[in-house]
Amino acid sequence: MPVVGLTCYLEPARWGAWELPAVLIPEWYVDLLRAGGATVVLLPPDPDVAALDRLDGLVMAGGADIDASRYSAAPHETADAPRASRDASELALYTRARELGMPVLGICRGLQIMAVAHGGTLIQHLPDAPGTIVHRERPGAFVDHEARFASDSVSAAVYGTDPVVVNSSHHQAVDSPGELRVTGWAADGTIEACEDPAADFCVGVQWHPEHPDRRESDLPLVRAFVAAAEAFAAHH
């Protein structure tokens, strides 16, 4: 069973008598990866990425907006407060994973980290973009919409080329993918998936496969990632 690393939030949290900064992640992510056949190791924000060398795959979870300075832009007024340690950690983890040829799955923010790492940029507030559909009615809520995928892509191998329904809860999205290839789009043209064609498995999706309602639809994507991690482990 491959062992994959899952990035985590660093946020104020309260439990029992305690209210402290905490490294945390919604259980949905862990449950999804276990259902896909992986053993999960949590990766707190850390500038030292040496732990990655002991793992078989990297999953980058959703979360707060990436600091716009990372792609040489001024922050939009709606942008989240920067999470500097998480931005630095995930960009370093992703860079190391690509150096190792390790399978990567980016989810929502994770896709955006991938794009920024490859020299891309983000749309900082989708409601300001002309002609966009609703991708988030309010923070913490999900909406459904259709997405389609390029025929010769990992995403299409999993989902097919006919439009499928995905979920959404984001106000930012990839603008320029940098060196990545765009392989999925919403009906309004918003980028829904990117891949590195030079990698065996390096896929980022803008939706949230970890949501329990998505388990039947998205488990094949996770199983494809876990299979790639298993193959990576066998050769390293």
Catalytic entry in 135, 145, 170, 208? 208
Residue type, 18: W
Q: Looking at residue 130, what is its pLDDT?
A: 87
What are the pLDDT digits (tens) for 65-96? 999 999 999 999 999 999 999 999 999 999 99
Strands (E), 8-83: 9-15, 18-24, 39-43, 57-60
Catalytic entry in 90, 192, 195, 210? 210
Give the list of residues 6+ apart from residue 48 with CB closer than 8 angstroms, or none.
none
Q: Reply yes or no on whether 108 is catalytic.
A: yes
What are the pLDDT digits (tens) for 156-208? 999 999 999 999 999 999 999 999 999 999 999 999 999 999 999 999 999 99
Set out the domains of the chain in order of their start, with CATH numbers.
3-234 (3.40.50.880)
Q: Reply yes or no on whether 194 is catalytic.
A: no
What are the pLDDT digits (tens) for 116-131? 999 999 999 999 988 8
Catalytic entry in 8, 108, 194, 202? 108
Task: Give the span between the Cα atoms of 122 and 65, in whole angstroms.
Answer: 10
